[in-house]
Structure 1
Amino acid sequence: MDEETFNLSIRKFLKVVGVNSQREIEQAVARALADGTLAGNEHLPVSVTLELAAVKLQARFDGEIRLG
């Protein structure tokens, strides 16, 4: 296994996940604020599940997004 190639491909994947996840969250929160579902001062629980089926990896990461 080429460690450099491996690490670079992980970083590339995580960058795509990070950028796209942020955009999706921002758009969903903007819609919820616009339609009155959110007031703008909430703390929102959030989770992500990472799955890599080839090596039977499934990991959940929990956190919180604060609006105010």
Structure 2
Amino acid sequence: MIHFVPEARRRYAGLRRAGIHDVPALNDIEDRTDRLALPAYAALGDADCERLAELARPFGRTIVEAGFLKLG
């Protein structure tokens, strides 16, 4: 149902490959934010989650291109 979660998991996999997954606090934060965000995404429904992803994608690309976040 929630299309952000698989995308976020793929990006998180990049952190794991970089060895950052070994930080327990990071795992706890990731799990907690997933749990807390789930009701909001569920309220949006599939179509609106797709639309939100579409609208947010350029912002994410800009952050990565500016060097604020390195993936993989």
Structure with larger Rg? 1
Greater fraction helix: 2
Which fold has the larger relative contact order, with Cα–Cα distance below 8 Å and residues 6 or more apart in sequence? 2
Q: Compute the TM-score of the two structures, normalised by the length of structure 1.
A: 0.34
Greater fraction strand: 1
Q: Compute the TM-score of the two structures, normalised by the length of structure 2.
A: 0.33
